[in-house]
Amino acid sequence: MDQLPKDKKILLFDGVCNLCNSSVNYIIDRDKNDVFRFVALQSDLGKSIQEYLGLNPNDLDTIILYIPGEAYYNKSSAALKVLNEFSGLWKIMNIFYIIPKPIRDVFYNLIAKNRYKLFGKKEQCRIPTPELKAKFL
């Protein structure tokens, strides 16, 4: 994992999921402090990171926030950690930490399980524009 930037938070996402791609676009638009880098779970690097973390690289129904040298978070915890990087009203989302992770993840899993039916799916992972290429590993 030496090729990963140590000063960035790495967000692994389902590269063919329309909901996930929309979420990545939303994060990029609000990442004013250049905190995040993005990796598709299906990519070779995405699979390598998951294996390094001891996770199943075939598990594509989660997002993973990996903070090199510190920790990783998945599912609802990853989503809340990402939202915590934004200013303004997004900080209110921290209230959901009072709900135990297993209960939060029930709702996360419900959406994740049905994301292709609800939001659609692409045939291949997103290819970033030249301007956004630096945001993707």
Over the stretch 21-66, which tens digit does the pLDDT of each residue have? 899 999 999 998 999 999 999 999 999 999 999 998 888 888 999 9
Q: Which residues have CB under 8 Å from 120's CB, separation 6+?
A: 18
Residue 2, domain member (yes or no): no
Q: Which domain holds residue 17?
A: 9-135
- Report whether pLDDT(127) > 70: no
Closest CA to 137 of 60, 76, 46, 48: 46
Highest mean pLDDT among 1-10, 43-52, 89-98: 43-52
Flag whether 46 is in a domain: yes
Residue 3 lies in a domain: no
- Flag whether 36 is in a domain: yes
Tally the domains of the chain. 1
**Domain annotation covers residue 101:** yes
Provide the mean pLDDT of the chain. Answer: 90
Radius of gyration of the chain (CA): 14
Q: Which residue has the tokens 């996402």?
A: 13
Q: How far apart are the first and last CA of the chain?
A: 12
Tell whether 114 is covered by a domain. Answer: yes
